[in-house]
Amino acid sequence: MRRYGKHTDEDDVRVRPNRKGNRPRTSIRPKHEDASEGFVVTVDRGRLTVLVDGRTITAMKARELGRKSAVVGDQVAVVGDLSGDKDTLARIVRVEERRSVLRRTADDDDPYERVVVANADQLAIVTALADPEPRPRLIDRCLVAAYDAGLEPLLVLTKSDLASAENLMSSYGALGVPYVVTSREELADGEAADRVRERLAGRVTAFVGHSGVGKTTLVNALVPDRQRTTGHVNAVTGRGRHTTTSALALPLPDGSGWVIDTPGVRSFGLHHVDPSRVIHAFPDLEPGTEGCPRACSHDEVDCALDQWVTDGHADPQRLYSLRRLLETRERREGD
Ligand SMILES: Nc1nc2c(ncn2[C@@H]2O[C@H](COP(=O)(O)OP(=O)(O)OP(=O)(O)O)[C@@H](O)[C@H]2O)c(=O)[nH]1
Ligand SMILES: [Mg+2]
Ligand SMILES: [Zn+2]
């Protein structure tokens, strides 16, 4: 007998004895064990495009997932109609554990995190050498986000037909971040795609950067049979037009990896970043933090890293770079 609307402790005792061997079978067996595995390639207002056994299907989140959402790059379990036929809709019943999560907030004060992509291995930080002007602050911010998420960063400097890469490279030399430089001419003759492709084999790479830097142009060169729309940069403001509006994962033609084109960002908020995870990306400095005071910002008088460098354990340029990156959270992007 149940009194509706009100649960007493007695009720709980009666309906849940929870003795060994007396549990309902459903709580032992994983739910939906007959579900198929899929890979989320794009998300558009609650509709997800999922690749299942080579078929492209449309799916939506099952209610049981609650607030948890699937993003591009997620590995998911799907049930229902998996034919991929027109007007069919499958259900996503589980989001598998993520290997990595790239997050950003709208700005540093904003606690609302959005997940940009899941399960990426590499973050390609795309910066135009001109048109729009490079903004090193954004590069620094993307680097911090990559280190925080455990992604390997790759700098992609586009439009070298318009300006030289020299200045920018000199300030990133000490960080040892791999980079490629591309130009309009090299896009046309396939050289740009070849050069970038060398860095993509066997990995999932997300392309991020300001609007108009040439992310989609590059992805189109890498995956020529899937031409996405590109947009012109406004000649007066020097800004892109936010042509790409949703992230899309595309397989490289030789099957050696995935590239994820993303919408241009105005900023890359780092509210969620934990400095100790950023230091993991600096194995030459990390052991030196042992002598630091608790919760050291690594930019204070008692920081042990100064002594570490003075003692010759690491290059002072590296400490300078680390501090610049950690400090990037304290500054506005235009500074
Ligand atoms: N001169 C020159 N222009 C380029 C190069 N690469 C891309 N562009 C141009 O830059 C403009 C913007 O390119 P998109 O690929 O749409 O830029 P995006 O980064 O995808 O921009 P959003 O989707 O808005 O974030 C287009 O007019 C491209 O033709 C390059 O190497 N040199
Ligand atoms: Mg684009
Ligand atoms: Zn310190």
Kindly report the protein residue whose alpha carbon is nearest to atom 23 of ligand 1. 244
Same-domain status, 125 and 239: yes
CATH for 91? 2.40.50.140
Residue predicted with more confidence, 108 or 296:
296
pLDDT digits (tens, 9 = 90+) for 174-202: 788 999 999 999 999 999 999 999 999 99
Instruction: Give the pTM.
Output: 0.85
The whole-number average pLDDT for the span 283-308 is: 93
Query: Residues 125, 131, 137, 142: what is their CA dihedral angle, to the nearest 10 degrees?
Result: -20
Question: Would residue 304 count as lying in a domain?
Answer: yes
Same-domain status, 148 and 116: yes
CB 231 near ligand 1, within 6 Å: yes
Q: What is the pLDDT of residue 30?
A: 59
Question: Would residue 142 count as lying in a domain?
Answer: yes
Show which of 73, 95, 117 is a domain's final residue.
95
Q: How much is the mean pLDDT over the chain?
A: 87
The whole-number average pLDDT for the span 41-52 is: 95
Q: What is the pLDDT of residue 8?
A: 37
Q: What is the pLDDT of residue 331?
A: 57
CATH for 306? 1.10.40
Q: Which residues surround ligand 2, an ion (CB under 5 A)?
A: 215-216, 243-244
Same-domain status, 159 and 110: yes
Asked whether the predicted pLDDT for residue 267 surpasses 60, the reply is yes
Same-domain status, 61 and 44: yes
Q: What is the pLDDT of residue 146?
A: 93
Q: What is the pLDDT of residue 41?
A: 98
- Report how far ligand 2's centroid is from the alpha carbon of 212 (Å): 7
Tally the C-alpha atoms within 13 A of residue 269's C-alpha that lie toward its C-beta.
Answer: 14
The whole-number average pLDDT for the span 78-97 is: 95
Asked whether the predicted pLDDT for residue 127 surpasses 90, the reply is yes
Domains in the chain, number: 3
Q: What is the pLDDT of residue 324?
A: 85
Rounded CA-CA distance 69/37 in Å is: 16
Residue 227: which domain range? Answer: 101-261
Min mean pLDDT across 172-176, 189-193, 271-275, 329-333 is at 329-333
User: What 3-state class would DSSP assign to 255?
Assistant: coil
Rounded CA-CA distance 217/229 in Å is: 8
